[in-house]
């Protein structure tokens, strides 16, 4: 609880209110926002007041999940991608823009803290949201940044920024180690805490299978649209029942083409049910997507976003462990992928342990 004193002529009164927490996910695909959802639910359950800072599709997702919370528009890094150049190269070319964005969001945070009387900040991969005046927490799974260029320099700069926060929450189970080397490098930040595998979804046994294939399209443009066209074209000739979730949180539509159901978007409860009702899920290999698939024990084919080094690493990792099948977007062939998938063994998924009292302990110190 936070205590506030107000004075009048002959007396003073003590006003007590909940601690106010600003949760700010990076708007880079929907993954950062989606993995903050279980954290926000548990903050609310623990009687904290939550304000969300977001923009774009991440903002739409959050408003759908938490319609009664307060929102602040926090501008994104606005990274641009090319249809053909690798994502890693495009990011490298835009490093000056990223540095400037970190600087401007840090300046903006000072105003936000004062205007909204923020007590705590939880920032998912937003490096500029640290403060000397209040407690701040940095969320990531990629403690060791996967990059084909200047890896050591990028790692050093990343740790300088992360160590400005009071604590770093690593989204992974320390024993299961879902993110591999990314969440468990040799050197870790000064103050860190593993908070488990976080997904907005809930597993249920013995769900009736309605769809043969569920394709979840996500990630930044233009690669999101490119994958959607590839999947849609090939599913048109597939005889089984299939469903495509386009990941367009700004629109709401439902269409049918042959045996395909196409949803522009769906809420968490709907996606949860769709995945459990599907024999096979085709998805990007972003870490948040992988946490969702792992939590729901979904048999899956992963298609990494071309040029995204992290997604390449994760898809290779899970393919080598015989957990999920990896396929490349270039020359993707659904029929050939299904033949490989049918030979893939079934994996025994392990349960991640959460301890929210321990996770939120920093707020009471």
Co-location of 26 and 84 in the same domain:
yes
Q: Tell me the residue range of the domain where 281 lies.
A: 211-342
Contacts 24+ apart (CB under 8 A), 267-275: 267/64, 267/65, 268/34, 268/37, 268/64, 268/65, 268/200, 268/201, 271/201, 271/216, 271/245, 272/200, 272/201, 272/202, 272/296, 273/207, 274/211, 274/214, 274/243, 274/245, 275/201, 275/214, 275/216
| Domain-embedded: residue 206 | no
Predicted model pTM: 0.87
Tokens 């969300």 belong to residue? 52
| Domain-embedded: residue 349 | no
Q: Can you give the pLDDT at residue 84?
A: 61
Query: Given its phi and psi angles, is residue 255 left (phi above 0), alpha (psi -120 to 50 degrees) or beta?
Result: beta
Neighbours of 75 (CB within 10 A): 13
Co-location of 18 and 112 in the same domain:
yes
Co-location of 163 and 233 in the same domain:
no
Q: Can you give the pLDDT at residue 144?
A: 87
Domain at 136, CATH number:
3.40.50.2000
Nearest to 74 by CA among 122, 34, 119, 35: 122
Co-location of 224 and 264 in the same domain:
yes
Q: Let me know if 96 is exposed, middle or buried by CB neighbors in 10 A (0-12, 13-18, 19+).
A: exposed
Tokens 């938490």 belong to residue? 66
Q: Which two tokens stand for residue 43?
A: 């903050």
Q: Can you give the pLDDT at residue 92?
A: 65
Co-location of 57 and 174 in the same domain:
yes
Tokens 């992963």 belong to residue? 302
Co-location of 59 and 148 in the same domain:
yes
| Domain-embedded: residue 314 | yes
Co-location of 172 and 282 in the same domain:
no
| Domain-embedded: residue 95 | yes
For helices 223-235 and 334-342, give the axis angle rounded to 10 degrees.
Answer: 80
| Domain-embedded: residue 147 | yes
Co-location of 168 and 258 in the same domain:
no
Q: Which two tokens stand for residue 87?
A: 């994502």
| Domain-embedded: residue 128 | yes
DSSP assignment of 77-100:
------SSS-HHHHHHHTHHHHHH
Q: How far is CA 144 from the centre of its chain?
A: 17
Co-location of 147 and 215 in the same domain:
no
Co-location of 60 and 155 in the same domain:
yes
- Provide the domain count of the chain: 2
Backbone angles phi, psi at 34, to 5 degrees: -65, -35
| Domain-embedded: residue 347 | no
Distance CA 362, CA 365 (A): 5
Please name every residue paired with 140 in a beta bridge, in sequence order, or none if there are none.
170
Nearest to 132 by CA among 144, 116, 121, 146: 121
| Domain-embedded: residue 270 | yes
Please name every residue paired with 335 in a beta bridge, in sequence order, or none if there are none.
none
Q: pLDDT (tens digit, 0 to 9) for every residue of the chain, 365 residues total?
A: 454 444 443 433 344 568 999 999 998 778 899 999 999 999 999 999 999 999 888 899 999 999 999 999 987 666 665 566 666 666 666 677 778 888 889 999 999 999 999 999 999 999 999 999 999 999 999 998 877 667 788 888 889 999 999 999 999 999 999 999 999 998 899 999 999 999 999 999 989 999 999 999 987 788 889 999 999 999 999 999 999 999 887 888 899 999 999 999 899 999 999 999 999 999 999 999 999 999 999 999 999 998 888 999 999 999 999 999 999 999 999 999 999 998 888 888 998 988 999 999 999 88
Co-location of 188 and 215 in the same domain:
no
Co-location of 91 and 179 in the same domain:
yes
Q: Which two tokens stand for residue 149?
A: 């260029």
**Helix extents (H) in 211-261:** 223-235
**Helix extents (H) in 277-355:** 287-295, 309-320, 334-342
Distance CA 224, CA 29 (A): 9
Distance CA 215, CA 221 (A): 17
Distance CA 89, CA 307 (A): 8
């Amino acid at each position: 609880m936070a205590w506030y004193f107000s004075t009048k002529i002959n007396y003073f009164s003590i006003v007590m209110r909940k601690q106010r927490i600003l949760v700010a996910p990076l708007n880079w695909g929907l993954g950062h926002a989606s993995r903050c959802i279980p954290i926000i639910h548990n903050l609310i359950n623990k009687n904290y007041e939550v304000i969300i800072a977001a923009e774009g599709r991440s903002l739409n997702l959050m408003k759908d999940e938490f319609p009664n919370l307060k929102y602040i528009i926090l501008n994104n890094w606005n990274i641009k991608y090319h249809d053909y150049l690798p994502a890693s190269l495009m990011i490298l070319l835009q490093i000056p823009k990223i540095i400037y964005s970190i600087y401007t969001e840090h300046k903006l945070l000072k105003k936000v803290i004062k205007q909204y009387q923020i007590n705590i900040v939880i920032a998912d991969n937003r490096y500029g949201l640290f403060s000397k005046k209040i407690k701040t927490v940095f969320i990531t799974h990629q403690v060791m940044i996967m990059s084909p260029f200047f890896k050591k320099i990028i790692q050093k700069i990343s740790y300088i920024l992360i160590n400005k926060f009071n604590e770093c929450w690593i989204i992974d189970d320390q024993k299961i180690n879902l993110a591999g080397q990314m969440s468990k490098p040799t050197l870790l930040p000064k103050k860190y805490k593993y908070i488990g595998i976080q997904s907005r979804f809930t597993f249920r046994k013995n769900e009736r299978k309605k769809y043969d294939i569920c394709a979840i399209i996500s990630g930044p443009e233009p690669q999101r649209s490119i994958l959607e066209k590839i999947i849609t074209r090939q599913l048109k000739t597939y005889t089984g029942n299939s469903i495509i979730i386009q990941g367009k949180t700004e629109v709401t539509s439902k269409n049918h083409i042959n045996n395909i159901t196409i949803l522009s978007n769906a809420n968490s409860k709907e996606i949860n049910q769709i995945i459990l009702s599907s024999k096979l899920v085709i998805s990007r290999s972003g870490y948040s997507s992988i946490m969702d698939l792992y939590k729901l024990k979904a048999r899956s084919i992963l298609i990494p976003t071309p040029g995204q080094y992290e997604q390449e690493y994760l898809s290779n990792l899970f393919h080598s462990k015989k957990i999920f099948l990896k396929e490349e977007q270039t020359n993707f062939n659904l029929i050939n992928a299904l033949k490989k998938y049918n030979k893939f063994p079934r994996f025994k998924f392990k349960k991640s342990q959460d301890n929210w009292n321990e996770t939120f302990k920093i707020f009471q110190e």
